[in-house]
Amino acid sequence: MKLTYELIRLELRHTWTIARGSSDYKENVIIRLERDGVVGYGEAAPNSRYGETPESTLAFIEQAIPLFAKADPWHFVELERAMGELQPAQNAAKAGLDMALMDWVTKSLGLPLYRYLGLDPAKAPLTTFTIGIDTPEVIAAKVKEAAPYPRLKIKLGSDRDEEIVAAVRSVSDKPLLVDANEGWREKHEALERIRWLEGQGIFAIEQPMPADQLDDMAWLRERVKVPLFADESVRTAADIPRLAQAFDGINIKLMKAGGLQEALRMIGMARALGLQVMLGCMVETSLAVSAAAALSPLADLADLDGNLLIKDDPFTGVTVDQGRLVLSGDPGLGAQPRN
């Protein structure tokens, strides 16, 4: 297998602000895997929250090149395990490599990934559209732009929560998913915010408190009605058993998981423990978003809008119709380079 890669800079449509900070651009890595005239593509979206940088991602890919050079891509299960043994971290890089591998395998078979997995694309769920933290005027404008999406996600977790919800509610009564991104640090504060939000038409809350405060989360869960989803508290399947008492569901992202194969194991484990499944993403092109969307018929909720936040998407792939994900029927992940 011939493995090559390229660091790309993605300019964002709007400055992206969440509880942790702001950015105007994102640097991701596109991976290309070639053998027997078939090319598989993957994308790594490193995230500083998990100790990843573009440099650490490139370093992991370099480390994996000798492994891929001698491996048989049809032994993709074994290859994914061997990749995991190279380093415990750098899951975004692993996700990009696993994606390229699964794209190559399913393209070689001539099947869309969802079909290979036995999934019905008509069961793809609605995706939310995310409104980042901003001024009330900009938030109201973004909510109006998001007219085709029946469900929105809003980022809270700063001292401006009430102002943001008021700005959204001034122009829309759509059901809202709230993501606090670990922003409520104290359990009584979190309880007060959630009780107030329960009267504001919300249908779920993501990561109300810091990832390691699981006892506080379990305390909170006993006192509120709205389903609580883990995001920063969960990366891979190994994290899930200890979360089952503290959350109602988990947000699975390919970049946290380290790829499609681990994401599938996570979905299986979440189901076995009675947890709901949300599929999310980072700021990514249509390549990585299409890969996640291929698994979406297995999810209760999707938040797969990372590609809609960037200006010049270098890939085409999954689209959205009235908020519902429409999977491409092309073989592989369902994404193609734009040129």
- Interface ranges with Mg ion (CB under 5 A): 179, 206, 231
Min. distance of Cβ 35 from Mg ion in angstroms? 36
DSSP percent split of the chain into helix, strand, coil, nearest 5: 40, 25, 35
How far is Cα 204 from Cα 197, in angstroms, rounded to an integer? Answer: 10
Min. distance of Cβ 206 from Mg ion in angstroms? 5
| Pick 267 or 282: Cβ nearer Mg ion | 282
How far is Cα 103 from Cα 210, in angstroms, rounded to an integer? Answer: 35
How far is Cα 80 from Cα 259, in angstroms, rounded to an integer? Answer: 9
C-alpha 33 chain-centroid distance: 23
| Pick 43 or 231: Cβ nearer Mg ion | 231
Min. distance of Cβ 304 from Mg ion in angstroms? 12
Min. distance of Cβ 48 from Mg ion in angstroms? 15
| Pick 155 or 187: Cβ nearer Mg ion | 155
How far is Cα 194 from Cα 211, in angstroms, rounded to an integer? Answer: 17
Structure tokens at 11: 């300019």
Q: For residue 253, which of 329, 179, 321 has the smallest C-alpha distance? A: 179
Min. distance of Cβ 228 from Mg ion in angstroms? 12
Residue 176 contacts residue 154 (beta carbons within 8 Å)? yes
Min. distance of Cβ 41 from Mg ion in angstroms? 25
Min. distance of Cβ 301 from Mg ion in angstroms? 12
Residue 125 contacts residue 325 (beta carbons within 8 Å)? yes
Residue 78 contacts residue 6 (beta carbons within 8 Å)? no
First to last CA, the chain: 23
| Pick 83 or 266: Cβ nearer Mg ion | 266
| Pick 52 or 179: Cβ nearer Mg ion | 179
Min. distance of Cβ 30 from Mg ion in angstroms? 24
| Pick 181 or 328: Cβ nearer Mg ion | 181
| Pick 230 or 295: Cβ nearer Mg ion | 230
| Pick 31 or 168: Cβ nearer Mg ion | 168
The residue to which tokens 């939000």 are assigned:
197
Q: For residue 33, which of 106, 121, 140, 138 has the smallest C-alpha distance? A: 106
Bridge partners of 31?
Answer: 5, 42
Residue nearest to Mg ion (CB): 231
Burial of 18 (0-12, 13-18, 19+ CB in 10 A): buried
- C-alpha separations of 167 from 68, 137, 175 in Å: 50, 7, 14
| Pick 54 or 280: Cβ nearer Mg ion | 280
Min. distance of Cβ 253 from Mg ion in angstroms? 8
C-alpha 187 chain-centroid distance: 26
